[in-house]
Amino acid sequence: MSDLPRLHVITHRHHARRGLGSLPDVVGAVIEGGARLIQFRDKDLGADDRLEMGRQLEPHLVDDEVEWLINDRADLAQLLDADGLHCPSDGLPVAEVHRLIDDPWVGVSTHDLEEARDAQASGADFVTLSPIFETDAKPGYGPLLGLDRLDEVTDRLEIPVYALAGITPDRAADCLEAGAHGVAVMSGIMGAERPEEATEQYLEATAASD
């Protein structure tokens, strides 16, 4: 799975309102900035509202070079013709995702080595590991793992690991040095005044490893 992008952008419409405004506009700007892996999260929305928001995002995500994932809802992924699903560690089994969606990418959120190993054994294509650092998106969410624990997990997994939570462009290189395939970013891009420029900064920070 080395062809997975180094940058994994996670949507959050509340953070988007601090910057550019509407979530579709922010996602469009992020893709303009070069992002090629987008996770439509916003899981606090009800099913109907989430479907409607997904349909507003679709025009920005039809580019063949862009992979987009739905958080936790295989039914929405089917309706929106998404490229895959991102599941919580206790969510839909990966095998079931493959039964429901044709040739999907499947990511799993993990928070320790055991969860990451379980996700790999289940057939996940990649995992996110969090929280690496303190984050504005979920203040007080922990315990913080830090770079040492990130290094431990990446050393024992064969699938790509995305470092998540509190990742700034300056910290991105440290995460890759600790073995992460890439970084997953929410507020650092969603809440930026110019999301396309923020995206470019993260891409530059991760490009050094290629």
pLDDT tens string 8-45: 999 998 877 665 568 999 999 999 999 999 999 998 99
pLDDT at position 64 is: 81
Total number of domains constituting the chain? 1
Regions of the chain short of the pLDDT cut 50: 1
CATH number of the CATH domain containing 123: 3.20.20.70
pLDDT at position 62 is: 80
pLDDT at position 29 is: 93
Any domain includes 2: no
- Residues 6 or more apart whose Cβ sits within 8 Å of residue 139: none
Tokens of 121: 């054994």
Any domain includes 3: no
pLDDT at position 209 is: 63
pLDDT at position 1 is: 43
pTM: 0.93
Any domain includes 118: yes
Domain boundaries, position 122: 8-207
